[in-house]
Amino acid sequence: MSDSLRRPPPPVPVTIVTGFLGAGKTTILNRLLRDPDLAQAVVMINEFGEIGLDHLFVEKIDGDMVMMASGCLCCTIRGELIDAMEDLLRRRDNGRIKDFNRVIIETTGLADPAPVLHTIMSHPYLLLRFRLDGVITIVDSINGGATLAEFPEALKQAAVADRLVLTKTDLVRAPEQVAQLRDQLQRLNPTALIFDAASVKFDSRHLLDAGLYNPLTKAPDVQRWLNAERLMDAGASANGASHDPHSAHDHGHGDVNRHNESIRAFCLVNETPLSLSAFDLFLQLLRSAHGPSLLRVKGIVALADDLSRPMVIHGVQHVFHPPVRLDAWPDDDQRTRIVFIVKDVKPEFIEGLYAAFAGQIAIDAPDKTALTHNPLKPNSGGLFS
């Protein structure tokens, strides 16, 4: 048998649909599944409670639907998610189900989507057969503002999203309420695209193919995926308008996009490339000090060993997808640009840590203390191990 026949097929894109209770996930899922382009999609629906009910409200589609057992889609059933995805592959490879070209996972309203992302980004076999396409978070326009303020799960769901979908906008009496919610979400997650489900032009094309690879060109589309310009432009505008050193709008790249006292979005930009080992150690120390607080990290990194070939990184909390080395820079900007959405972490700490590895500053005592209190485990390994 030739190598081409032994080689597994291209990884199947995985889309995660999340959102708080009552946001309208099932309605949006039904709408997506009407698209002929999703005729070969497999839907995985997680159930909450002893008797699954959500699937009764999902329209029948031409294809397979995998129902996971009771329980919130979280760390406690991570193994079950792996089993379900591996079984899906076995059934397809053995011809027991027809071929599929996309997997859609709908979480429950109370789910933290991070463990699902961890599974897809770190499991050795699943990494070969699946690729994360994106996270779609559904937000209720009527109750969304209050939900974000009260429930940390809702904040996390919005923070890790690639696409944010506002539902029930046609039911909101005061238009300014929707505008305020949109502004709130944009500050929480500046690089995510926001769509109105009530728009007649809204369809699956707006939500799918949000990952690093462009399905048309079959090549990485870093600019579209990273969308760092939106975050950097917002920071520059606000910083240019404020000169008060104590202002919330004049603290480097990120506080202009500060959602509240704990969650911030910012873009680390640095012109100095690091060696591969130095950047690996930078990420190890960062994960050791603040792993659970790194809600979403994605970026393009200049490396000193080959300045013409940057590296793309993508992480959720302490888990990072295997890095991708590009053949060339996607544009003329050859600086390191990393978008962070963090909780209870000061941008100055991350920027200072990178600058220290770049030889631009020395790590001061407070930073050393933070790292000392979170030592690396001897067998933890690095991102590039």
User: Across residues 68-91, what is the average pLDDT?
Assistant: 67
pLDDT (0 to 100) of residue 177 = 93
Specify whether domain 3-211 bears CATH 3.40.50.300.
Answer: yes
Q: What CA–CA distances, in Å, run from 312 to 42, 163, 226? A: 28, 20, 10
378: which 2 tokens? 């001897």
Burial class (CB in 10 A: 0-12, 13-18, 19+), 101: middle
97-114: pLDDT as tens digits: 888 888 988 887 777 888
* CA gap 311, 315 in Å, rounded: 13
252-263: pLDDT as tens digits: 344 444 445 588
> Which band of pLDDT confidence, cut at 50, 70 and 90, is reported for residue 237?
very low
Specify whether domain 227-372 bears CATH 3.30.1220.10.
Answer: yes
Instruction: Report CA torsion sign: 202, 134, 287, 80.
Output: positive
Q: What is the CA radius of gyration of the chain?
A: 21
238-281: pLDDT as tens digits: 443 333 333 333 333 444 444 455 888 899 999 999 999 999 99
Q: Who has greater pLDDT, 96 or 73?
A: 96
Task: Report the Cα 175 to chain-centroid distance in Å.
Answer: 29
Query: Would you list the domain boundaries of the chain?
Result: 3-211, 227-372
Neighbouring CB atoms inside 10 A of 279's CB total 25
Q: What is the pTM of this model?
A: 0.79
Which residue, chain included where needed, has tokens 């462009």? 214
